């Protein structure tokens, strides 16, 4: 039996897969969009090389990972009947992490988030009817809370169907929570709502750059159109992934819904800019909240340009509502379960932003080793085995 994990080639999903492989003995059923087996393996290698070297990855691929080449939005993931039956028969629990974060495209969010979640929920339904499903865990978002201002939002008060949403991503994720609850009423469920996931508190390296690019753009400005006392709820990806794994694997979590956030411990813009300025040896920016509207207009105008500034402005345009709402998400539930709070962004933000700038917002991925490299690996392993007396 295995954990069926969607989104394993994404940022959060890869962290979840790596923790499961490192700390737990479960097999993993992974859905990967690819035309060939080799393409699927290489996509996984790109996602997981931040966490492990190639021999470790190859061993996990051969002994603990079953790859299903399919598409989240296709009926039964586009798998043939025998393969889909094998997936149903071997799935003991589900962690649904895959999603489209394209906040500008209603079509993409509808296809991936709604149709995709429907297919995953139906897989869970069939597995539960066939042999019982231990748990269905869903990675959602705090954005389901909709338009907010100057609030501390609790898990049970987040969703208000009469409240407007910021974008298609928030709207569709809100409905996916409702969908899973309706389709799997008799299954143990866990819903995880991360806040702004930005960087890893343990390392500077990252493969996620959209939000980082927006922050680098802001960090280079002499003034910011915000209030320095406004809070911004940022949480590191390692805390999110560890929380998901801990609570998914736990026999009886205390709650169904968890905010994976910094909560009332969220730092203010002033605290973050002081930390960045101190680390970089630069002056802090000035705060000028009255310029929020003209600044937003300038960002919208710059977003039309197809250059580096245009890309940064386009990203900032998408994230701007989340930067000015001064709203944080109560996290006492997950802190009690984890036994610790997430690391504050100010402690690891400078290395993250410097790595991103130095590498031009790309990760230096390693290619799949060629045949010569594999022969060399096998020869080296054999030599080590001979030295240890492991071969006749």
Decide which of 217 and 156 is more confident: 156
How many Å apart are CA 210 and CA 103, to the nearest integer? 12
Ramachandran region, residue 150 (left: φ > 0; alpha: ψ -120 to 50; beta: rest):
left
> Residue 372 is inside which H or E element, if any?
helix 371-387
CB atoms within 10 A of CB 207: 17
- Whether residue 230 contacts residue 192, with contact meaning beta carbons closer than 8 Å, is answered with no
Cβ burial, residue 125 (10 Å; 0-12/13-18/19+):
middle
Specify the higher pLDDT residue, 309 or 110.
Answer: 110
Give yes or no for a contact between 254 and 333, defined as CB atoms under 8 angstroms apart: yes
Gap between the Cα atoms of 239 and 201, Å rounded: 8
Helices (H), ranges, 235-345: 237-249, 269-280, 292-302, 308-323, 332-338
3-state secondary structure 292-320: HHHHHHHHHHHCCCCCHHHHHHHHHHHHH
Q: Which residue, 184, 161, 156, is CA-closest to 174?
A: 161
3-state helix, strand and coil shares in percent for the chain, rounded to the nearest 5? 50, 15, 35
Query: Alpha-carbon distance 336 to 163, whole Å?
Result: 30
At 324 the pLDDT is 87
Q: Is the pLDDT of residue 175 over 70?
A: yes
The model's confidence at residue 97, banded by pLDDT at 50, 70 and 90, is: very high
pTM of the predicted structure, to 2 decimals: 0.91
Label residue 381 by pLDDT band (50, 70, 90): very low
User: Helices 37-48 and 54-63: crossing angle, nearest 10°?
Assistant: 130
What pLDDT shows up at residue 373? 46
Q: Kind and range of the H or E element at 83?
A: helix 81-90
* pLDDT at position 226 over 80: yes
| Helix axes of 210-219 and 308-323: crossing angle, nearest 10 degrees | 90
Ordered structural domains, the chain, with CATH: 1-194 (3.40.50.720), 198-234+265-326+344-363 (no CATH)
* pLDDT of amino acid 218: 82
Helices (H), 134-192: 168-183
Distance CA 20, CA 2 (A): 11
Of 193-202, 258-267, 310-319, the poorest mean pLDDT is in 310-319
Q: How far is the C-alpha of 117 from the C-alpha of 100, rounded, in Å?
A: 11
Q: Are 269 and 284 in contact (CB under 8 A)?
A: no
Q: What is the pLDDT of residue 390?
A: 34
pLDDT digits (tens, 9 = 90+) for 188-208: 999 999 999 999 999 999 999
| Cα 146 to Cα 104: distance, rounded to the nearest angstrom | 16
**Least confident residue range of 196-210, 338-352, 361-375:** 361-375
């Amino acid at each position: 039996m295995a954990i069926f994990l969607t989104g394993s080639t994404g940022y959060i999903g890869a962290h979840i897969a790596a923790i499961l492989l490192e700390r737990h003995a479960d097999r993993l059923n992974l859905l990967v969009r690819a035309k060939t087996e080799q393409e699927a393996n290489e996509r996984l290698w790109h996602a997981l090389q931040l966490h492990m070297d190639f021999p470790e990855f190859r061993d996990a691929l051969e002994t603990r990972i079953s790859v299903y080449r399919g598409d989240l939005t296709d009926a039964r993931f586009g798998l043939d009947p025998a393969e889909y039956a094998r997936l149903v028969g071997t799935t003991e629990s589900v962690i649904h992490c895959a999603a489209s974060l394209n906040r500008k495209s209603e079509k993409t969010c509808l296809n991936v988030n709604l149709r995709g979640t429907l297919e995953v929920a139906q897989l869970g339904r069939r597995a539960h009817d066939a042999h019982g499903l231990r748990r269905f865990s869903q990675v959602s978002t705090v954005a389901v809370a909709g338009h907010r201002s100057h609030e501390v939002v609790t898990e049970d008060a987040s969703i208000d169907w009469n409240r407007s949403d910021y974008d298609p991503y928030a709207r569709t994720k809100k409905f996916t929570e409702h969908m899973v609850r309706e389709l799997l009423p008799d299954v143990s469920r866990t819903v995880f709502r991360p806040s702004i996931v930005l960087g890893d508190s343990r390392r500077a390296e990252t493969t996620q750059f959209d939000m980082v690019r927006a922050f680098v753009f802001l960090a280079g400005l002499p003034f910011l159109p915000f209030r320095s006392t406004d809070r911004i709820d940022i949480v590191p990806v390692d805390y999110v992934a560890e929380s998901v794994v801990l609570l998914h694997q736990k026999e009886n979590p205390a709650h169904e819904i968890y905010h994976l956030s910094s909560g009332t411990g969220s730092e203010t813009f002033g605290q973050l800019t002081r930390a960045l300025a101190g680390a970089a040896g630069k002056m802090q920016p000035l705060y000028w909240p009255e310029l929020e509207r003209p600044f937003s207009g300038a960002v919208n105008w710059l977003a039309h340009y197809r250059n580096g500034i245009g890309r940064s402005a386009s990203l900032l345009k998408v994230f701007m509502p989340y930067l000015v709402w001064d709203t944080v998400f109560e996290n006492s539930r997950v802190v009690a379960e984890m036994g610790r709070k997430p690391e504050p962004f100010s402690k690891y933000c400078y290395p993250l932003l410097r790595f991103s700038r130095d590498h031009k917002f790309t990760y230096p991925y390693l290619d799949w080793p060629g045949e010569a490299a594999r022969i060399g690996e096998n020869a080296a392993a054999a030599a080590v085995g001979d030295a240890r007396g492991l071969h006749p």
